[in-house]
């Protein structure tokens, strides 16, 4: 029985040491230090109890294993309702892309679009927007983290995307529609999308509130009235590297964002072109050339849930993804939304809001915004902080507990927290213990810059 006691102690200690090693690999030093401390404390208590009570080792071992197994069983039960995001279709309203801050920053004071927008559409934002235009663009000299070499990484990628984002619309099909069932079309699109590099590919029926009322990102089609003239939407995601994201708010996080926008744009253009070759209408919606609201599509298609930080949180990578979509008339089979407890977790977590330097994220309760009951972020103050930093910040994404890599230990936590309200509470408290309330990396990868 002493052997059983010793082996059990070694097993538990190896588990803690394994987590410590995993944390160091993930550059989570604090988590690694805490895990080592817990391993040392456990070893002292475990083997100390065996020394003090040598005749009770079987009882100690059985009690420990019973507690572990009972706890795992309880945490695996579907305890606590996981309420989905509440959407009231009768209240849903479409949104005008001309009101998006990125599009507004494209309006030069000498353009007719500038005069139209600030004279007739939204004169209240003129003073604020004009002030932002006087400041350096994100990445240009003047920002806190702007760097003459580092910032060029993401600036060059975004300029490259601008050169090809007009390819999002491959034009009208020249072939007659091929005969294909919805099942086969869905399987082919999902398979091809993942082969091209997508993390997840899912389908939903296109609804009115998915589509902007007017184009507002590019000057060449600014103000064009948009209509939901396709039947379906294909939504896909691509993972952002954990190390790059966790350098936030330094420029590697901005570079990672830009590169993944570029790669997912390639996927979208290829899928749209493929569908057109089959004889069906299709259009990609990629960075700088959207007609739809990708987070809304991603939620309805089941890519993930909308979290407090205003981003889609996916089951495996949290908000650490980028999204794109293709709308089409190709017959497809819809995927249902997913519900793995994000609405419940975000109610009490608030790490994104508490760590947001600009206070742009809602720390209170949800509000009804155009038919969706959600936490509303302030895109104006958020973008203003980007300009100040010289990067696109991404601190909210980096500190989100769901952003952890898909390692063995984090996958176990995801399994339990996706099923059980008690597990979500426990995961939140343990996240504070291992990663602190204000987790930070703020280090550049070795390849990124010689100036560390």
Share of the chain above pLDDT 90, in %: 91
| 276-327 pLDDT tens trace | 999 999 999 999 999 999 999 999 999 999 999 999 999 999 999 999 999 9
Residue 450 binned pLDDT confidence (cut-offs 50, 70, 90): low
pLDDT for the residue numbered 451: 58
Q: Model confidence at 205, in pLDDT bands (50, 70, 90)?
A: very high
Task: Report pLDDT digits (tens) over 26-53.
Answer: 999 999 999 999 999 999 999 999 888 8
Which of 144-153, 184-193, 340-349, 441-450 is predicted with the least confidence, judged by mean pLDDT? 441-450
DSSP class of residue 167? G
- Give the pLDDT score at 190: 98
Average pLDDT over residues 243-247: 94
Q: Read off the pLDDT of residues 133-153 as tens digits, 9 standing for 90 and up.
A: 999 999 999 999 999 999 999
Q: What is the pLDDT of residue 55?
A: 83
For tokens 């996916």, what's the residue? Answer: 314
CB count within 10 Å of CB 62 equals: 14
Mean pLDDT of the chain: 95
The whole-model pTM stands at 0.93
Q: What is the pLDDT of residues 338-388, one digit of tens each?
A: 999 999 999 999 999 999 999 999 999 999 999 999 999 999 999 999 999
Q: Which two tokens stand for residue 18?
A: 């394994």
Q: What pLDDT sits at residue 441?
A: 75
Examine the pLDDT at 452 and tell me if it is beyond 60. no
3-state secondary structure of 314: strand
Q: Residue 169: its pLDDT value, please?
A: 94
1 — pLDDT class (breaks 50, 70, 90): low
> Contact at 8 Å (CB) between 297 and 233?
yes
Q: How confident is the model at residue 271 (pLDDT cuts 50, 70, 90)?
A: very high
Q: CA angle, corner 328, sides to 168 and 287, nearest 5?
A: 30
Largest Cα–Cα distance of the chain, in whole Å? 88
* Confidence (pLDDT) at 2: 85
- Scan for tokens 């790490």, then name that residue: 351
**Left if phi > 0, otherwise alpha if psi is -120 to 50, otherwise beta: which for 142?**
left
DSSP string, 45-87: HHHHHHHH-GGGHHHHHHHHHHHHHHHHHHHHS--S--PPPEE
């Amino acid at each position: 029985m002493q052997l059983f006691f010793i082996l059990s102690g070694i097993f538990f200690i190896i588990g803690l040491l394994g987590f410590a090693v995993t944390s160091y690999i993930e550059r989570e030093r604090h988590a690694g230090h805490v895990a080592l401390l817990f391993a040392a404390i456990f070893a002292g208590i475990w083997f100390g109890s065996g020394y003090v009570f040598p005749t009770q080792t079987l009882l100690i071992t059985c009690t420990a294993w019973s507690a572990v197994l009972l706890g795992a069983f309880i945490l695996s039960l579907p305890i606590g309702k996981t309420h989905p995001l509440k959407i009231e279709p009768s209240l849903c309203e479409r949104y005008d892309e001309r009101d998006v801050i990125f599009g507004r920053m494209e309006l030069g004071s000498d353009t007719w679009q500038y005069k139209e927008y600030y004279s007739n559409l939204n004169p209240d934002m003129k003073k604020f927007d004009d002030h932002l235009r006087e400041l350096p663009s994100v990445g240009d000299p003047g920002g806190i983290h702007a760097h003459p070499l580092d910032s060029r990484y993401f600036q060059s990628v975004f300029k490259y995307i601008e050169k090809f984002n007009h390819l999002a619309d491959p034009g009208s099909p020249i072939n007659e529609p091929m005969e294909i069932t919805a099942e086969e079309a869905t399987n082919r699109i999902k398979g091809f999308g993942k082969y091209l590099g997508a993390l997840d590919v899912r389908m939903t029926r296109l609804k009115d509130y998915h589509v902007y009322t007017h184009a507002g990102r590019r000057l060449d089609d600014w103000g064009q009235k948009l209509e939901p003239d396709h039947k379906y939407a294909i939504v896909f995601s691509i993972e952002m590297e954990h190390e790059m994201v966790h350098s936030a708010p330094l420029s590697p996080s901005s570079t990672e964002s830009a590169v993944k926008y570029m790669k997912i744009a390639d996927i979208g253009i290829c899928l749209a072109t493929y569908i057109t070759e089959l004889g069906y209408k299709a259009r990609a919606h990629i960075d700088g050339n959207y007609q739809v609201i990708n987070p809304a599509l991603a939620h309805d298609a089941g890519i993930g849930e909308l979290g407090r930080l205003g981003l889609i949180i996916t089951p495996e990578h949290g908000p650490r993804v980028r999204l794109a979509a293709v709308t089409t008339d190709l017959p497809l089979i819809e995927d249902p939304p997913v519900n793995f407890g994000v609405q419940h977790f975000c109610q009490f977590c608030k790490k994104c809001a508490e760590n947001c330097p600009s206070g742009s994220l809602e720390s209170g309760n949800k509000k009804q915004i155009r038919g969706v009951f959600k936490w509303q972020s302030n895109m104006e103050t958020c973008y203003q902080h980007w300009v100040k930093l010289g990067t696109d910040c991404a601190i909210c994404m980096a500190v989100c507990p769901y952003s952890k890599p898909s390692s063995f230990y984090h996958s176990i936590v995801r399994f339990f927290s996706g099923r059980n309200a008690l597990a979500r509470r426990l995961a939140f408290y343990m996240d504070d213990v291992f990663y602190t309330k204000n987790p930070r990396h703020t280090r550049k990868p070795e390849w990124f810059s010689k100036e560390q």
